[in-house]
Each structure stands twice: as structure tokens, then as C-alpha cells.
Amino acid sequence: MNKIYAAILSMALGTTFSVFGESVDYKVSGVTFAGHIEKASEDAPLVLLVHDWDGLTDYEVKRAGMLKALGYSVFAIDLYGKGVRPTAIADRKKCMGMLTGDRPKMRDYMRGALSFAKEQGLNTENCVAMGYCFGGTAVLELARSGEDLKGFASFHGGLGLPEGQDYSKVTGEYLIMHSITDGMDPFSQLAEGLEKAGVGAQLICYAGAPHGWTVFGSPRYAEKQDAASWNHFIQYLEDTLK
């Protein structure tokens, strides 16, 4: 594992939710959400981080801390609502399904989070959105809505194209990191859509990585592929943000 990555990861794993940054409540369309802000500096580039299917947890907060250590501000947003952090598989599927089944609501919640970030003085003009698993699905939904960000990145997210959607409105630079075992048909469909839209994109598939390979501490965690994908992401941020 890269020594710098290992040092930052070690720092993150040794830190709890309450130590990093600032937990914040905000409202979108009458719903209260509980997000998390890491502010590196006044004008630092911003990463909008979207959580996995279990909601905003210590995992995303630790990743946010790793990014702050590299000079990026981070807003880890909440798409489920304050206090909604499902643990059972059935509950996670239900929470995720309520948004994947209502794409306008998903877009509304993400745009509301961006508006809140701007109100907090975060640099939404120099911003990349990224997400893990369900978060990757959400990030691509935001991209297809035409949101004008510098870029969009997905770690093992859902790549399928919802009925009636296309990539004609997308902007920015794309980094899509996926596992070969997640299947390749949606991967090819996404590649074709981004190519047709004429946007910059890197699509990387990792062999030997199960779905969810970035989730440290889980049985699915793959150290080599996690370090490689994180390094690809950091290089992408350096290339994409000012």
C-alpha cells in the first residue's frame, strides 16, 4: 500500500465521528437532514460526498477527513433524513428504493444540499461530486440532471440508465471505478453515453475486487484495490479542480 495513503488511512481509522469537522442539520423541501462538513480553508476546492446505502455513517466521515488532510473541503450529505441510518439489509433496500424509485426527489435533495453548502461558504463553484455504491448511483443521477459541477466520480456505484434518461445534459469530467464482478453491460452503456456527450471520462475496472471493495473493516474490503482506486481519485481531483 502507498505509504502516504496508509498514513492517512491510519489516521482516519483511529478517529471517531465526533472528532472530525462539524455535524450540521439542514432542510430541503421540509425534510431535516444531518450532514457533515470538513472545511480545509476558505477557498479550498469542494468535494460533495454521497453516502452508501446505509446512510451517512462514520465511514463517509472518515473519508471526508482523509480528503481534508489533502487540502479539500468536504460536505458529506445526507439523502435519507436525520436519524435514518438503516442497519438491516431490508431497511437499507427500502431507504435506497424510496429514492431510486423517485428520481426527481433524489435530485431535489442533492441540489438542496448544494445550496446549503453554498450558504455555508463552501466553494461550490470548484466542486466535484463523488459517491460510494448508492452514492455513486446518486452522483450519476445528479450529473444527468445537468448540474454544472467540475466533475463526478463513482466508486462501485449503480451504472444502469433509468428509463427515459440520457447523457445529453451532462457536464464536467468523469471518473468511474468499478469491479469486474459487478458486471459489464451497464459499464459499456455508460461509456457509450459519456462518449456521445463528448465529456472527459476515465472508466476503470478492478480485477479481484468484490462489490464494495473500499469499505474498510468489512469482509468485502480489498486493500490493494482500495489504495489503487483512492490514488486514482486523488489524481483525478488534482487534474479536475483548480
Amino acid, single-letter form, for residue 179: S
Examine the pLDDT at 88 and tell me if it is beyond 50: yes
Rounded mean pLDDT of 99-111?
97
Please, which pLDDT band fits residue 183 given cuts at 50, 70 and 90? confident
Domain residue extents for the chain: 3-240
| pLDDT tens sequence across 42-62 | 999 999 999 999 999 999 999
End-to-end CA distance of the chain: 27
For residue 186, what pLDDT is reported? 81
Residue carrying the nine cell digits 450532514: 35
Short-list 242, 237, 232, CA closest to 70? 237
For residue 72, what pLDDT is reported? 98
Please, which pLDDT band fits residue 2 given cuts at 50, 70 and 90? low
Q: Which CATH class is domain 3-240?
A: alpha beta
Please, which pLDDT band fits residue 17 given cuts at 50, 70 and 90? very low
d(CA 101, CA 30): 20
Residue carrying the nine cell digits 468499478: 178
For residue 18, what pLDDT is reported? 41
Rounded mean pLDDT of 105-114?
98
Instruction: Give the mean pLDDT of the chain.
Output: 92
Please, which pLDDT band fits residue 12 given cuts at 50, 70 and 90? low
Short-list 38, 119, 122, 35, CA closest to 80? 35
Examine the pLDDT at 1 and tell me if it is beyond 70: no
For residue 51, what pLDDT is reported? 98
Please, which pLDDT band fits residue 240 given cuts at 50, 70 and 90? very high
CB-based burial label for 218 (10 Å; 0-12, 13-18, 19+): exposed
d(CA 80, CA 216): 22
